[in-house]
Structure 1
């Protein structure tokens, strides 16, 4: 799905990412690496395949769009250092030619040295392009640019032809800011209630659809 915001084209991908062709920038939010390991440490039977699946999806996107920059718009790592960060470090080596940027979110609490060792450049509280301000929580945005945020894991509730209520992650675009879906599949949804002239794009298993 291609849309235009503030005169710039944005591609919405069904893998819960956006691509800015003018900037050659791929952006995702709420990756939450380490969340599954964090729950396993607490005694919950969560499979370690979750983070592997998320990184596999991200690999496909990086190969598909060939960005010069990957921007993670907050909550890259879910908790304290654990084995899933080691797995990410090995995965990262395949993409040494891509600049990795992290806009810090409320879960990003790793030591500075860890980000440096992973070749991740940190921005706090935001990162700006020509037209957009990337920030994890839009409530903290002080820029005059159009804000692209994350944090709340937006979702939308719709009914199918059989009058069954279905919930999907979504992209939300308001007049002054947007909210990206959580990239990780291991997250809940907070339903948004759009009003005119807001635009909402549901992410179904097969495609992105405008509602």
Structure 2
């Protein structure tokens, strides 16, 4: 896996964007990501929709390499770590987490995170509705009720649409960075891309396997 980085400074804090759908915040030793949707493929299979078995495994392999690469001590997930009711994918994630003895998991509860507190405790996950870690507040979906604080969120699965010659079009995931917020791309590869909404004045950092592009 090729990890490409782009450093940006927000509120005097350096955030490292990666082409692997996660941000590293060095001063907090935190890897920040959103919308992992663990359990989505198993949920679909349970309802008779055939899904490849290796989708989750590929996501977790990427996450393992990111944690190792940055030597992260904290995994901050800005919503939708899980997708549905308890299923076998959750056990797979629990086994994955067991390889990291000191990696702290903090989840900002998203609209899909419906597992019980007992299960979250069993997974050793700290759950918050919103998390203030100066100078940021982490929430799943951006809200106007925090006008004075820079928010970092997910939820919308942002992407950009690049038009080429003729009818050629390419969709890429991206980070959206505006004056008072940053929206993360969905971490899971098994998600769609929303290319139709963008905060006012936002700059998009789109990426491929080999590079990161800035779009004004």
CA distance in 2, matches of 1:42, 1:210: 40
Shift of residue 142 of structure 1? 3.0
Instruction: Report 1:32-47 matches (<5 A).
Output: 32-47=37-52
CA distance in 1, matches of 2:199, 2:102: 41
- Give the aligned CA root-mean-square deviation in angstroms: 1.7
Q: More deviation in 42-51 or 133-142?
A: 133-142
CA distance in 1, matches of 2:145, 2:73: 25
CA distance in 1, matches of 2:144, 2:79: 13
Shift of residue 148 of structure 1? 0.4
CA distance in 1, matches of 2:47, 2:204: 36
Which residue of structure 2 lines up, in the alignment, with residue 107 of structure 1? 112
Which residue of structure 1 lines up, in the alignment, with residue 184 of structure 2? 180
Which residue of structure 2 lines up, in the alignment, with residue 76 of structure 1? 81
Shift of residue 194 of structure 1? 4.8
Q: Once the two structures are superposed, what CA deviation does each residue of 1:118-145 show, in whole Å capped at 9, x if it has no partner?
A: 1110111x11111111100113753632
Which residue of structure 1 lines up, in the alignment, with residue 134 of structure 2? 130
Instruction: Give 5+ residue unaligned stretches, structure 2.
Output: 1-5
TM-score after normalising by structure 2 = 0.92
Q: More deviation in 157-166 or 81-90?
A: 157-166
Answering whether residue 212 of structure 2 is matched by residue 190 of structure 1, we say: no
CA distance in 1, matches of 2:68, 2:187: 17
CA distance in 1, matches of 2:147, 2:99: 34
Aligned length: 210
The 3-state SS of whatever aligns with 2:98 is: helix
Instruction: Give 5+ residue unaligned stretches, structure 1.
Output: none
CA distance in 2, matches of 1:141, 1:106: 18
CA distance in 1, matches of 2:13, 2:207: 21
Contact 2:136/2:151 (8 A) holds in 1: yes
Shift of residue 176 of structure 1? 1.2
Instruction: Report 1:2-13 matches (<5 A).
Output: 2-13=7-18
Q: 2:23 aligns with which of 11, 18, 32?
A: 18
Alpha-carbon distance change, 59 to 136 in structure 1, aligned in 2, over 3 angstroms: same
Which residue of structure 2 lines up, in the alignment, with residue 210 of structure 1? 214
The 3-state SS of whatever aligns with 1:94 is: coil
Contact 2:22/2:32 (8 A) holds in 1: yes
CA distance in 2, matches of 1:186, 1:203: 16
Contact 1:4/1:10 (8 A) holds in 2: yes
Q: 1:31 aligns with which of 10, 32, 36?
A: 36
